[in-house]
Structure 1
Amino acid sequence: MTVINKMNVEEQAIQAKKAAKTLSLLKTEEKNAALLTLADVLDTEYESILTANKADLEKGSNKGYDAAYIDRLTLTKERVEEFAQGLRDVAKLEDPTGIVDSDWTLDNQLNVQKVTVPLGVIGMIYEARPNVTVDATGLALKSGNAIVLKGGSSAITSNKQIVEVMHRGLEKTKIPKEAVQFIDSTDREATQQLFTMKQHIDVLIPRGGGSLIQAVVNNATVPVLETGVGNCHIYIDAEADVEKALAILVNAKTDRPAVCNAVETAIIHKDWLETNKDALIQAFNENNINVHGDEAAVQVFPGAVLAREDDWANEYLSRDIAVKTVNHLDNAIDHIDTYGTKHSEAIITENVQTAETFMKLVDAAALYHNASTRFTDGGALGFGAEIGISTQKLHARGPMGLPALTTIKYMMNGNGQIR
């Protein structure tokens, strides 16, 4: 374990804040050039990153991490190349800063402009995935922000090497390497310190499991852009098309079961289930989907286990699914209100009025009618990239792309006006 030096952590935040000033003055072309340079250096120095990653994998294997966790932790040449391509893709996106959102002149001829500007310094607290180190850095720099990275202990060696490689790249650009800080301590005190450095950090973004996110939300004095776990639901209405329902449900459960926009609970109208149970049983069997159901569902699905209370709130991140049977749309909405995490919710129905009611009454960042929840993703929705998915309502909600990493300033130009 690295011994934490409180002054070192604070000094890193101070350096990031100074670097943010330099970043705010750079032209779009200079930021893009820096991102392309970072991409090239990652491609060139991938072997050193893979060597560092092996150390994390060995440690993870010794600690008994499960296969899904090891997969998220594992880096290959191809995955590093994907990191690099992600930076190139971000470089192609529109610069979200310096945009005049509105412009007007008062009766006294004082001109007022509402302009987008960087947040300043972003504190990124995350777990497991080394790709977040690169993705978050690219988005922060493109939007003119400095970033302080605090990754989890499981990927500490990989993340440290990735940042060292990116620092060497930044030395060739107009962006100071101090704009990207990595806290290499595995001590929780370092994370706790980030929670309270409001004078240096402008916003915290936690990305990981529910316990990490709640620890940040409950303890931070720095403003938090809350990302959320995804206990996502799909409601199959009595008037749902069978082919659509089966395709959407299977896709949302099995495409990538361990991601936050995968469906965890199927809420099914009893009339639809009675008519189409054979087709649904076959779909579940063919895709190795395991059912945790209420009493009615257990009677329908062979091998289903009776759901416990925690099954309705569980983010399985596997091929397990909870199945709730209901008699009415209102019952489905009540269930989502009780157990949902305000991430992504879907309805499958051919009744437009029913769909509109669902979309208006369900409180979530992303709502779908006759489509899979797997589209709650910055890339899939055309944002180009995302730093996380916000389940809160202030500032940003849903997949957070570059615009979510900006705020606004009112800039007034006058000619001696006084009040």
Structure 2
Amino acid sequence: MATIEAQSVTDVARRARAAGRRLAAVDTATKDAALRAIADALVARAPEILEANARDLEAGQAAGLPSALMDRLALDERRLAGIASAVEDVIALRDPVGETIEGYRLPNGLDVQRQRIPLGVVAVVYEARPNVTIDAAALAIKSGNAIVLRGSSSALRSNAVLAEVAATAAESAGLPADSIGFVGGGGREELAELATQDRYIDLIVPRGGEGLKAALKGVATVPVIFAAAGIGHVYVDASADLDQAVEIVRNAKVDRPSACNAAETLLVHRAIAAEALPRIAAALGRDGVELRADEASRPLVEGQGAVVVDARPEDWDTEHLALILGVRIVDDVHAAIDHIETHGSGHSDAIVARDHLAIRAFERGVGSAAVYVNASTRFTDGGEFGMGAEIGISTQKLHARGPIGLRELTTYRYLVHGDGHVR
């Protein structure tokens, strides 16, 4: 049986490197069997997992964790079943390892193939989301990578049990020992030690707020793909279908406000504001949303049932992760784009419009990882995108953008076949 015991960060990383070399050669059937064993174990050991999570929740409540973090931390039978189902979804996905991206023959007769291979060892650093423990482990296994998991101290008990469940199940199904490693959620010194294990770790994916991002930027020698904050926007154009606009804005803000793909700012074209904003404010007011309105929009959203306060300059740059929405009137789609590119995080932004010229301007002008036309930002998710699960949402422009799934956890090599060729 695998155990998650106290080990130094270097020991965990070194063992993961050894496991990763063997895991890269494991066939798809064995990897899928390991994932199936993990899904089954999550169900079989649910009482143990939920008991550990209850202890984390008690500690979080005593420490005064914000409601958004408490929501991210909480597990119940439904959420645990959803985590197991996501593992089953990963099983159903095509294994990217060994996939030929392209192939060609050179004039000299050499056959060249560009082929997907695992990165090797991936470390994931995350805050108060126990589901990431399993999502990340499942994606790493399927893509042939060993993984080192480092959750936050607020979810230490939950993460430790989940990592042990996954490691034990995977090893029992034939995966190399130490394919799933766990670091215990210590302080900044531990994070810095993990971020400098470039001898053993090939990539770090941090999934958390700007504080985590800043802490890693200062010390990391391992390559990093930042799964950054989500300051998302919905822009309602003058040409918008207002019925659609009301539902899209409401879903983007209310469905799960603690998620990184929730909207934080509503932008409305000046020509339609007097008609659109009272309707939107009334719908949001029924869900208890606080509106932080600019000077022009405040008279239009007051008296509709929502709490309304004056927007502060910092509100446009804040990921509230709560039932709080900034509201601003803009002159046109280009002003909306300017606002998004100035204040957004490059995560998920949407336009509600019928005018194809406005839509085209938005599509070309907004450089976010996910851009939506007449749809809610809440779809930016590995499961929703058909990836089974995700490790995080990348807002960077190199290597991977948007949900980080199987293919984003691979690199490629050139495989060259000859017949006695020399140069």
Could you tell me the TM-score, scaled by structure 1's length? Answer: 0.95
Structure 1 residues 78 and 285, CA gap change in structure 2 (3 angstroms) = closer
Q: Secondary structure at the match of 2:103?
A: strand
Q: Secondary structure at the match of 2:391?
A: coil
Structure 1 residues 279 and 71, CA gap change in structure 2 (3 angstroms) = closer
Instruction: Note the C-alpha offset of 1:364.
Output: 0.5
> Are positions 1:275 and 2:255 aligned together?
no
CA distance in 1, matches of 2:77, 2:364: 45
Structure 1 residues 247 and 78, CA gap change in structure 2 (3 angstroms) = closer
Q: Deviations over 1:142-189 (max 9, x none)?
A: 100000111100111111122222232123122123011101252321
Structure 1 residues 286 and 78, CA gap change in structure 2 (3 angstroms) = closer
| Structure 1 runs not aligned, ≥5 long | none
Partner in structure 2 of residue 367 of structure 1: 371
Correspondence for 2:341 among 331, 337, 353: 337
Compare 143-152 and 48-57 and name the one that shifted more. Answer: 48-57
Partner in structure 2 of residue 312 of structure 1: 316
Instruction: Note the C-alpha offset of 1:87.
Output: 1.4
Partner in structure 2 of residue 216 of structure 1: 216
Partner in structure 2 of residue 198 of structure 1: 198
Instruction: Note the C-alpha offset of 1:283.
Output: 2.0
Identity of aligned residues (%): 43
Matched residue type, 1:105: R
Compare 363-372 and 281-290 and name the one that shifted more. Answer: 281-290
Q: Deviations over 1:253-293 (max 9, x none)?
A: 11111111111101111110123343233223223222111
Partner in structure 1 of residue 152 of structure 2: 152
Q: Please tell me whether the aligned partners of residues 89 and 388 of structure 2 are also in contact (alpha carbons under 8 angstroms).
A: yes
CA distance in 1, matches of 2:316, 2:231: 8
Q: Secondary structure at the match of 2:39?
A: helix
CA distance in 2, matches of 1:310, 1:27: 51
Q: Deviations over 1:341-362 (max 9, x none)?
A: 0011111111001110111011
Partner in structure 1 of residue 362 of structure 2: 358
Partner in structure 1 of residue 387 of structure 2: 383
Say what the alpha-carbon RMSD is for the aligned residues.
1.6
> Are positions 1:71 and 2:76 aligned together?
no
Write out aligned runs for 1:125-274 (5 A). Answer: 125-274=125-274
Q: Please tell me whether the aligned partners of residues 388 and 399 of structure 1 are also in contact (alpha carbons under 8 angstroms).
A: yes
Instruction: Note the C-alpha offset of 1:129.
Output: 1.1
> Are positions 1:348 and 2:357 aligned together?
no
Partner in structure 1 of residue 88 of structure 2: 88
Instruction: Note the C-alpha offset of 1:203.
Output: 0.2
CA distance in 2, matches of 1:92, 1:207: 25
Q: Please tell me whether the aligned partners of residues 239 and 350 of structure 1 are also in contact (alpha carbons under 8 angstroms).
A: yes
Aligned residues: 415
Q: Secondary structure at the match of 1:177?
A: coil
Matched residue type, 2:350: A
CA distance in 2, matches of 1:8, 1:138: 24
Write out aligned runs for 1:34-45 (5 A). Answer: 34-45=34-45
Instruction: Note the C-alpha offset of 1:67.
Output: 3.2
